[in-house]
Amino acid sequence: MNETPMRARALVDLAALRANVRALRARAPQAQLMAVVKADAYGHGAVPCARAARQAGATWIGTATPQEALALRAAGDEGRLMCWLWTPGGPWREAIEAGIDVSVSGVWAVAEIREAVRAAGRPARVQLKIDTGLGRNGCQPDDWPELIAAARAAEDEGVLRVTGVWSHFACADEPGHPSIQAQLRVFRDAVGYAERQGVRPEVRHIANSPAMLTLPETHFDLVRTGVAVYGVSPSPEIGTPQELGLRPVMTLSASLASVKRVPGGHGVSYGHHYITPGATTLALVPVGYADGIPRAGSGTGPVLIGGKWRTVAGRVAMDQFVVDLGGDTARVGDEAVLFGPGDRGEPTAEDWARATGTIAYEVVTRISNRVPRVYVGEEPGADAGPGAGTNVNESVNQQRS
Ligand SMILES: *Cc1c(COP(=O)(O)O)cnc(C)c1O
């Protein structure tokens, strides 16, 4: 990987991403798959990742914010696309014009959609969210009849079409947690009620990666997989990526910026939290917390240099950290691998999560824009673009029966 002469790079293996999507689809053969690409595809790059996911059969793409969804449309994505994190003011009209499925958790949003549809001149595709117990976004079950009534009235007037009913789990990463079955019961009730009121959703969905991997009864019509698409395990309890048949997509590495001999008793990095125990060689890894390396990795973060697993010596600074090579040496420009699939003995994102007291989701997602993404494994001859899915314009223009 040293053929790329850069300070640091996040290699993104799109062939691994496509293989992950195919492996996940095989585990939920009755359901469609949504690849969640919020937060710039968990740090991997939303546009290339959405395109690769569609090539591997993801019929839906999901984002948190409408801005993220609109950016995908601007880049040419034309398939089914949903976003769920809305605040008053929208941008509803832009999303409706772009044929994006918008999530609604309260009647205030139905009112804003009514206005936006008038300006857009076409009906909105709306997915109604029920809070089955997460306690975050979503309509409280007590308020569900009111929301369903508002949505059905708007639907009968041709303002919108209810395309989905959905929810989100609180503890799917803790298999066997009693809240999982409790949320499923509330979800089934909410779907049943909506359908009795005349709602005809195209998709009913509740499963994120951990639910999708551990509990087939959560699959319904669609699974919303995020972290697993990137080959990262939702939690150690659920298994390693390898055990789950997944391959980590991102490899984060940097080129050593300095290698030098220092005497024993030398303080290292801010605060001198590391003192060399004897004469040794220090290597400077030119990435820091501005690149998304957790400062909590000070004295704990693992890194592979010269085939050996090392630990960050002293503090992670904004732009750099230091590694004590002990009796070994290295050359300026040698590669330091912070995390990757693990094939070459390098740490994984899960190892960084353990070392820094966080989850692997955060380790990959926080890698900042200062680190260039280098894409490998593009589908050979792929020129279909990101829109190689359902043509949303056709579908949106269908009249409901
Ligand atoms: C992020 C997110 C997902 C994907 O979760 P993973 O655990 O990464 O699979 C699914 N649904 C919603 C609502 C989300 O916010």
Q: Is the CATH number of domain 250-367 2.40.37.10?
A: yes
Residue 394 has what pLDDT?
A: 30
Q: 80-83 and 60-63 as β-strands: parallel, antiparallel, unpaired?
A: parallel
Residue 388 has what pLDDT?
A: 40
Active site residues: 38, 270
The residues lining ligand 1, judged by C-beta closer than 6 Å to any ligand atom, are 36, 38, 64, 84, 168, 208-210, 224-228, 234
Cβ atoms of residues 223 and 34 within 8 Å: yes
Between the CA of 395 and the centroid of ligand 1 the distance, in Å, is 25
| Alpha carbons 115 and 88: distance in angstroms, whole number | 12
In 240-279 the beta strands, taken as DSSP E runs, fall at 250-255, 258-262, 267-268, 274-275
Atom number in ligand 1 closest to CA 209:
9
Segments of the chain assigned to CATH 3.20.20.10 = 14-229
Cβ atoms of residues 134 and 168 within 8 Å: yes
Is the pLDDT assigned to residue 391 strictly greater than 80?
no
Q: What is the pLDDT of residues 179-207, one digit of tens each?
A: 999 999 999 999 999 999 999 999 999 99
List the alpha helices (DSSP H) in 75-122: 92-97, 107-120
Q: Going by C-beta distance under 8 Å and a sequence separation of 6 or more, which residues neighbour residue 153? A: none
**Best probe residue, ligand 1, of 17, 32, 33, 36 (max atoms within 8 Å of C-beta):** 36
- C-alpha distances in angstroms, 245 versus 309, 354, 395? 25, 21, 34
Average pLDDT, the chain: 94
Is the pLDDT assigned to residue 243 strictly greater than 90?
yes
Between the CA of 369 and the centroid of ligand 1 the distance, in Å, is 22
Q: What is the pLDDT of residues 285-331, one digit of tens each?
A: 999 999 999 999 999 999 999 999 999 999 999 999 999 999 899 99
Sign, CA torsion 301/305/309/314: negative
Atom number in ligand 1 closest to CA 228:
9
Residue 327 has what pLDDT?
A: 86
Q: What is the pLDDT of residues 77-111, one digit of tens each?
A: 999 999 999 999 999 999 999 999 999 999 999 99
Instruction: Please choose, from the candidates 41, 23, 38, the residue with its C-alpha nearest in 3D space to the C-alpha of residue 69.
Output: 38
| Alpha carbons 222 and 16: distance in angstroms, whole number | 22
- Across the range 330-351, mean pLDDT stands at 97
- pTM across the whole model: 0.93
82 in a labelled binding site: no
β-partners of residue 258 are 284
Is the pLDDT assigned to residue 383 strictly greater than 80?
no
Atom number in ligand 1 closest to CA 234:
7
Q: Going by C-beta distance under 8 Å and a sequence separation of 6 or more, which residues neighbour residue 380? A: none
**Ranges 48-52, 66-70, 386-390: which has the least confidence:** 386-390
Residue 382 has what pLDDT?
A: 61
Segments of the chain assigned to CATH 2.40.37.10 = 250-367
Between the CA of 267 and the centroid of ligand 1 the distance, in Å, is 43
Atom number in ligand 1 closest to CA 34:
10
CATH number of the domain located at residue range(s) 14-229 in this protein: 3.20.20.10
Instruction: Please choose, from the candidates 98, 72, 73, 95, the residue with its C-alpha nearest in 3D space to the C-alpha of residue 84.
Output: 95
136 in a labelled binding site: yes
Between the CA of 11 and the centroid of ligand 1 the distance, in Å, is 23
β-partners of residue 267 are 275
Residue 380 has what pLDDT?
A: 81
| Alpha carbons 201 and 185: distance in angstroms, whole number | 18
| Alpha carbons 393 and 348: distance in angstroms, whole number | 41
**Best probe residue, ligand 1, of 134, 136, 208, 212 (max atoms within 8 Å of C-beta):** 208
Phi, psi of 291 (to 5 degrees): -90, 0
